[in-house]
Amino acid sequence: MLLDVKNLNLKFQTSKGVIHAIRDLSFSIKQGETLGIVGESGCGKSITNLALMGLLPDTADLSAEKLEFEGKQLLKLKEKQWQKIRGADIAMIFQDPMTALNPCFTVGYQIEETLELHRKDLSKEERKEFVFELLDQVGIPAPRERAKSYAHELSGGMSQRVMIAQAIACNPKLLIADEPTTALDVTIQDQILKLLKDIQAKNNMAMILVTHDLGVVAENADRIQVMYAGEVIESGTSKEVIHAPKHPYTRGLLDSLPGSGDTSFRAHLSSISGMVPDLRFRPSGCQFNPRCFKSKEECTSSRPMLNQEDHQVSCFFPMSEG
Amino acid sequence: MILEVENLKKHYPITKSFKESALVKALDGVSFKVTKQKTLGIVGESGCGKSTLAKALMALEERTDGSIKIENKEVTSLSKSDFKSAIQMIFQDPYSSLNPRKKAWQLISEPLLINSKLSKKVCFDKACELMEKVGLRPEMAQRYPHMFSGGQRQRLGIARALALHPKILICDEPVSALDVSIQAQVLNLLMELQDEMGLTYLFISHDLHVVKHISDDILVMYLGKIVEYGPREKVFDSPLHPYTKALIASSPSISQDKDEHEPISGELPSPLNPPTGCAFHKRCPIATDRCAVDTPALEIKDGRSVACFEV
């Protein structure tokens, strides 16, 4: 196991009460594998990533039974120790490439910065050469000239390529891609996803692909885990989750996509009634029960746990096959 | 025909001191027609002129050339209030398109207060009625926008657009900022309102699945020009233009029977310096020498119009 997380809990103390943002999150990821994490806004996708990168704000209260990367405990690391891992072993691509790059420095310098920190064995000239090589690898034409550009001179797709070059500079073992293509057009999204796939295959890198777009994970992830209100509610291979979902929430999400089940013109789209719960006032029992069409008494009184099969689901009354 | 647009052009002059002035052709000769109670879906990537088209139709941007006719009347001949009750718009971002200092009923009734001589009391009642219509409880009328969720805010935006009983509603990416489950609710609402009030929609979106679901006709744009325009079944099920094909292939889908494909190369060219000939030729897999020289015109082929030499 490259990354092994067991019963991760994340709480925030706020003036309006305690927010239990992540509750008993367990998952693992193997070398070379792509794990897709899907869920609606506010389900805890992004904060999970920040926890894995050691980028949580000071107000966060993180606890876990296990949070191991290559057998190394990440839980109680000091900032200095994090700096050695971050960017070198675990790297991240952020959602909005236009704002994630520093507007004051050339993109070449920003990539070099990562190398300067983690590749002490390279001389200044070697680093420069390596930057050009990286830019070339991510498909940027005329890398020598482009390295001198500033972020505002590049298009969204190009900026995202620079972000990827920055992330893969030190050949990380795990790449976290947080909505890497949400801000991009479909044809550019297609190019970027293909690029990520190629790099992943070449470097045998593991990838966490976080997105709200079910189509993107269906096409790109090996395994998918669905999150709701800070919990994993379903996890399995992408085929299982997309084509034979067991949790009513996953089913509901898939059905509400236009062009899924009933593709006839102007057909009424099924939707999930209600809204995501306020994490300060979580419902008792299953978090999804107020919106679930299958909800029974048991669902409000006790909390379902992920079962231990290959295709995991946390539901008392999972959907039957098909 | 409720809406007829002919040869619509919007050019922005770019003037910089000491530099040659340039011309950005955001819209370059766009023509289409929409029948009453039908939906025209407009797709294309960012920078292709979708939003400029919406603004030009709403007269938020003065058009450079071309004619817009609503029910066979040129819009310039309509009075201001007639024009406003003919065409209204829903905006993309429900977070920035509502004034945070106004209450829900004030937001909804603002078009009424401006365009009619109704008293405040009547306006309030009308606002409550509209809220009910879009699926919001009238008790919420005294709330401010921040007290609503994203989906509810978009409903407020819809209620506001409906206040003057428009015939045509321009929806500029109305569901892009919403989560999937909420997106379905808003799309359902739009479809119900269309049947109930006989509305005509111009539906702008980059999400092909959404457009395919609710549009009768589809208009595909690339760099200010129409590349393919025709009925939904034709454009989606048997696309002819290589750009339409690429868009459909690259749109992520959950269906099992999607084929493997190669992404098309390159990016949208700069509108300041568009390529000669067909604007798509540099990214096109089937481009020939002719495409770099001549600009293809829209021609009718197999039940739809398409602008390409090679089909």
Q: What integer is the mean pLDDT of A213-227?
A: 93
SS3 percent helix, strand, coil of chain B, rounded to 5, is 35, 25, 40
Chain B residues with CB-CB distance to A218 below 8 A: 252-254
A146 touches A159 (CB < 8 A): no
User: Are the CB atoms for A170 and A86 separated by under 8 Å?
Assistant: no
- Share the mean pLDDT of chain B: 91
Q: Which pLDDT band, with edges at 50, 70 and 90, does A210 fall under?
A: very high
Question: In B, residues 160-179, which contact A (CB 8 Å cutoff)?
Answer: 179
Tell me the two tokens of residue A116.
């300067």
Which residue among A186, A191, A269 places its CB closest to the CB of B187?
Answer: A269
Tell me the mean pLDDT in the region A159-187: 92
Residues 6+ positions from A122 with CB-CB distance below 8 Å: A115, A130
Interface of A with B (CB under 8 A): 40-41, 155, 157-158, 185-191, 194, 212-216, 218-219, 242-243, 252-254, 256-260, 263, 265-272, 275
> What tens digit of pLDDT does each residue of A123-140 get?
999 999 999 999 999 989
What pLDDT is attached to residue A147? 94
The answer to which of A164-173, A220-229, B261-270 has the lowest mean pLDDT is B261-270
Q: Are A92 and A50 in contact (CB under 8 A)?
A: no
Contact B181 A258 (CB under 8 A): no
pLDDT of res. B258: 65
With contacts defined as CB-CB under 8 Å, which chain B residues touch A263?
A: 213
Please indicate whether, in this complex, the C-beta atoms of A187 and B246 are within 8 angstroms of each other.
yes
pTM: 0.89
CA distance A317 to A248: 9
The residue-averaged pLDDT of A43-57 equals 91
Q: For residues A241 and B246, give the distance between their C-alpha atoms in angstroms, rounded to a whole number.
A: 27
Query: CB distance A189–B267 less than 8 Å?
Result: no
Q: Give the Cβ contact number of residue A213 at 10 Å.
A: 20
Q: pLDDT tens digits, residue range A82-97?
A: 999 999 999 999 888 8
List CB contacts of B81: < 8 A, sequence separation 6 or more: B115, B116
| Surface-to-core class of residue B53, CB atoms within 10 Å of its CB (0-12 exposed, 13-18 middle, 19+ buried) | buried
Pick from A186, A260, A275: which is nearest to B254 by CB?
A: A260
Q: Rounded distance, CA B122 to CA B112, Å?
A: 10
Separation in Å, CA of B186 to nearest CA in chain A: 10
Instruction: With CA atoms as reference, report the closest residue to A168 among A138, A194, A145.
Output: A138
Compute the half-sphere exposure of residue A149: CA atoms within 13 Å on the CB side of its CA.
18
State CA A52 to chain mean position distance. Answer: 10
* CA dist B281 → A106, B228, B267 (Å): 31, 15, 12
Most A-contacting residue of B254, B260, B267 (CB-CB within 10 A), to test interface: B254
CA distance B252 to chain A (A): 5
A232-285: per-residue pLDDT in tens?
A: 999 999 999 999 999 999 999 998 888 766 567 888 888 888 888 888 889 999
Quick: pLDDT tens for B167-199.
Answer: 999 999 999 888 888 899 999 999 999 999 999
| Rounded percentage of chain B residues whose pLDDT exceeds 90 | 69
> Residue B116: is it exposed, middle or buried by C-beta count within 10 angstroms (0-12/13-18/19+)?
middle
Alpha carbon distance B6, B92 (integer Å): 26
**How high is the pLDDT of residue B19?**
74
Q: What are phi and psi of A68, to 5 degrees?
A: -120, 135
What is the pLDDT at residue B73?
Answer: 92
Largest CA distance in chain A: 68
Q: Shortest CA distance to B220 belongs to which of B48, B12, B14, B39?
A: B48
Q: Residue B147 has what DSSP assignment?
A: G
Nearest chain A residue (CA) to B211: A258
Can you tell me the ipTM of this complex? 0.85
Share of chain B above pLDDT 70, in %: 99
**B68 closest CA partner among B24, B39, B31:** B31
Mean pLDDT of B263-292: 89
Q: Tokens 């009750």 belong to which residue?
A: B85
At B79, list the tokens.
Answer: 């009075």
Q: Do B247 and A267 touch (CB under 8 A)?
A: no
Residues of chain B with C-beta less than 8 angstroms from the C-beta of A260: 254-255
Residue of A nearest to B233 (CA): A265
**Which among A319, A316, A314 has a CA at the least distance from the CA of A235?**
A314
Query: Given an 8 Å threshold on Cβ–Cβ distance, is B232 in contact with A271?
Result: no
Q: Quick: pLDDT tens for B91-101.
A: 988 889 999 99
> What pLDDT does residue A322 have?
45
Contacts of B199 (CB under 8 A, 6+ apart): B37, B166, B167, B168, B169, B193
Q: What is the pLDDT of residue B305?
A: 95
> How far apart are alpha carbons A46 and A94 in whole angstroms?
10
Contact A49, A3 (CB under 8 A): no
Distance CA(B204)–CA(B210), nearest Å, equals: 10
Burial of B1 (0-12, 13-18, 19+ CB in 10 A): exposed
Angle subtended by helix axes B150-162 and B120-133, to nearest 10: 120
Q: Which of B181, B209, B251 to mutate to test the interface with A (most CBs of A within 10 A)?
A: B181
B72 to chain A, any CB pair closer than 8 A? The answer is: no
Give residue B259's pLDDT band: very low, low, confident or very high (50, 70, 90): low
Q: What is the pLDDT of residue A161?
A: 93
Proportion of chain A above pLDDT 90, given as a percent: 69
Going by DSSP bridges, is the β-strand pair B73-74/A60-63 parallel, antiparallel, or unpaired? unpaired
Q: Do B181 and A186 touch (CB under 8 A)?
A: no
| pLDDT of A73 higher than 80 | yes
Predicted pLDDT at A130 = 95
User: Quick one: pLDDT band at residue A42, thresholds 50, 70, 90?
Assistant: confident
Q: Which of B48, B180, B218 to mutate to test the interface with A (most CBs of A within 10 A)?
A: B180
